[in-house]
């Protein structure tokens, strides 16, 4: 979790001067955000009371409305060998603003009742691919509603028993649940973008103890291949589930809960170790509507049953951090009285280490194993296949031990882009492959080398 530190005159590192010059020099306070992050279920929410003194005393007057801003300016350059449509050029370069978020938070009545609202003017969160395009696509500067919920903390602070209702991020897949500003690489992994459940609407109940933390929810369902996240959709929308249940359990072996709000471990930090697992099940087709878009040429489905499960571990110590996460998914469509079932698997392993007080090197490998039926587009099973993505780079924290002003650069390499039309489409409305505005990977080629640079401002 970022720490409050005074602004100091810190020199830019040589290799990143160019990125900083084009993206603009950022000046901002490094004060800790007072609003909940999207990872409140396992970190901000579960932080020691001493880290949130203003929330630890429910008998005091509620604090005023607080605002937080996240701005990410990104440069991406893709080089591909023998590319094909819809992006036939070998090289593609340019700037992007993946996230421009305004987050509002405050207490109502007393400090036990918290409200949170998040609008995003960028394109990385809204255009995540894997389904039909939203009615108002991201990237045009229009605000999109992300998190919007009210939470009641029974014990008067951000620990213990709580309940929340509204629209919130799924807690099942850890990489997706951790806030975007606290990621290790410039962007989340391809495996995460394929399996991430995203936002949903519903009611969640959870509890945090010294060693364990759990959360369960009843919700409108989540994203899966061919179906985008049902964020801010009507109750009779075709992308919403008839019923859906999610849950997660974390076991903290060492450290405090706040350690796991990000993937970074500052020099001098004590050991932190946590393991956890999550699950999600949902069903569509029993209530209105009775025809569900699949994204396949096979047509619409009369029934869909989805199950997603995950397991992961975070281990951190003095200046280094490791994370490994597995996600599995089973989707069954009933189309014209025939059942079509796929089972996919994903794995992410990443690590980082500080080589100075402010500079951090990292590396990541992630893979996606697709079902043979999915590779064949739903009609021509060809055997399972596995797709690999290698990422390496560096972060520079302008203010020590703070994510407030962070410069990042990384390189992504893959040869897993051309075997199938579904994983290699890479279009703005790709059914399965993440939208290129999210990861930067265009796909549809024999191999691809992607260079990314980013300036992040959080205040």
Domains of the chain, first to last = 14-458 (2.40.160.10)
The closest alpha carbon to 346, from 323, 373, 365, belongs to 365
Q: pLDDT above 70 covers what percent of the chain? A: 74
For residue 141, pLDDT over 60 is answered with yes
Residue 225 in this model has a pLDDT that exceeds 70: yes
Mean pLDDT of the chain: 79
Better-predicted residue by pLDDT, 57 or 95? 95
Torsion angle of C-alpha atoms 390, 177, 3, 250, degrees rounded to 10: -100
Least confident of 62-66, 141-145, 311-315, 369-373: 62-66
Position with higher pLDDT, 58 vs 186:
186
Is the bond into 116 cis (omega within 30 degrees of 0)? no
Confidence bin at 22 (pLDDT 50/70/90): very low
User: What pLDDT does residue 370 have?
Assistant: 83
| Range picked from 2-11, 138-147, 152-161, 189-198 for highest mean pLDDT | 189-198
Residue 243 has pLDDT above 60, yes or no: yes
Provide the token pair at 73: 């300016």
Q: Which pair of tokens denotes residue 402?
A: 């703070």
At 372 the pLDDT is 77
pLDDT band, residue 287 (cuts 50/70/90): confident
Q: What is the CA radius of gyration of the chain?
A: 21
SS3 state of residue 271? coil
**Over 90: is that where the pLDDT of 36 sits?**
no
Average pLDDT rounded to a whole number, residues 142-166: 87
Selected residue with higher pLDDT from 240 and 166 = 166
| pLDDT at residue 4 is higher than 50 | no
Mean pLDDT for 343-349 is: 95
Query: Which of 22-26, 248-252, 338-342, 393-397 shows the lowest mean pLDDT across its residues?
Result: 22-26
For residue 405, the surrounding DSSP H or E stretch is: strand 405-414
Question: C-alpha distances in angstroms, 380 versus 368, 372, 373, 445?
Answer: 19, 8, 6, 21
* pLDDT mean over 254-258: 93
Contact assessment for residue 419 and residue 383, using Cβ atoms and an 8 Å cutoff: no
Residue 60, pLDDT score = 52
Question: Would strands 144-153 and 113-120 be described as parallel, antiparallel, or unpaired?
Answer: antiparallel
Mean pLDDT value across residues 29-47: 38
Residue 15 has pLDDT above 60, yes or no: no
């Amino acid at each position: 979790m970022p720490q409050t530190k005074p602004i100091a005159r810190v020199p830019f590192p040589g290799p990143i001067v160019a990125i900083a010059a084009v993206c603009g020099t950022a000046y901002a306070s490094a004060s800790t955000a007072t609003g909940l992050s999207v990872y409140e279920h396992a970190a901000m929410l579960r932080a020691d009371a001493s880290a949130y003194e203003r929330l630890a005393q429910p008998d005091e007057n509620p604090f005023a409305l607080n605002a937080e801003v996240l701005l990410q300016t990104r440069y991406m350059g893709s080089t591909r060998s023998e590319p094909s449509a819809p992006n036939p050029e070998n090289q593609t370069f340019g700037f992007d603003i993946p996230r421009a978020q305004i987050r509002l938070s405050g207490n109502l009545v007393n400090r036990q009742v918290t409200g949170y609202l998040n609008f995003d003017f960028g394109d990385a969160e809204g255009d995540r691919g894997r389904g039909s395009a939203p009615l108002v696509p991201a990237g045009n500067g229009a605000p999109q509603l992300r998190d919007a919920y009210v939470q009641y903390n029974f014990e008067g602070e951000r620990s213990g028993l709580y309940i929340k209702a509204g629209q919130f991020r799924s807690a099942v897949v850890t990489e997706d649940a951790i806030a975007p500003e606290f990621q290790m690489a410039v962007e989340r992994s391809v495996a995460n973008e394929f399996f991430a459940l995203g936002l949903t609407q519903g009611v969640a109940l959870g509890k945090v103890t010294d060693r364990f933390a759990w959360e369960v929810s009843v919700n409108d369902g989540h994203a899966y291949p061919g179906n985008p996240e049902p964020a801010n959709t009507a109750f009779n929308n075709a992308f919403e589930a008839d019923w859906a249940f999610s849950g997660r359990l974390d076991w903290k072996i060492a450290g405090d809960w706040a350690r796991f709000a990000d993937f970074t471990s500052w020099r001098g930090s004590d050991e932190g170790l946590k393991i956890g697992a999550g699950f999600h099940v949902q069903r569509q087709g029993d209530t209105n509507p009775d025809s569900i878009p699949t994204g396949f040429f096979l047509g619409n489905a009369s029934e869909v049953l989805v199950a997603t499960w995950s397991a992961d571990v975070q281990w951190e110590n003095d200046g280094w951090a490791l994370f490994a996460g597995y996600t599995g998914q089973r989707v069954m469509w009933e189309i014209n009285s025939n059942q079509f079932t796929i089972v996919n698997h994903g794995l992410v392993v990443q690590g980082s280490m500080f080589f100075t007080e402010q500079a951090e090197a990292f590396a990541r490998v992630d893979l996606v194993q697709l079902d043979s039926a999915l590779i064949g587009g739903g009609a021509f099973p060809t055997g399972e296949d596995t797709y690999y993505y290698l990422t390496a780079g560096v972060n520079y924290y302008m203010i020590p031990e703070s994510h407030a002003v962070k410069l990042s650069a990384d390189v992504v390499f893959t040869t897993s882009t051309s075997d199938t039309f579904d994983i290699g489409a890479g279009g703005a409305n790709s059914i399965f492959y993440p939208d290129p505005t999210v990861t930067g990977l265009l796909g549809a080629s024999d191999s691809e080398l992607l260079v990314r640079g980013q300036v992040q401002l959080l205040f």
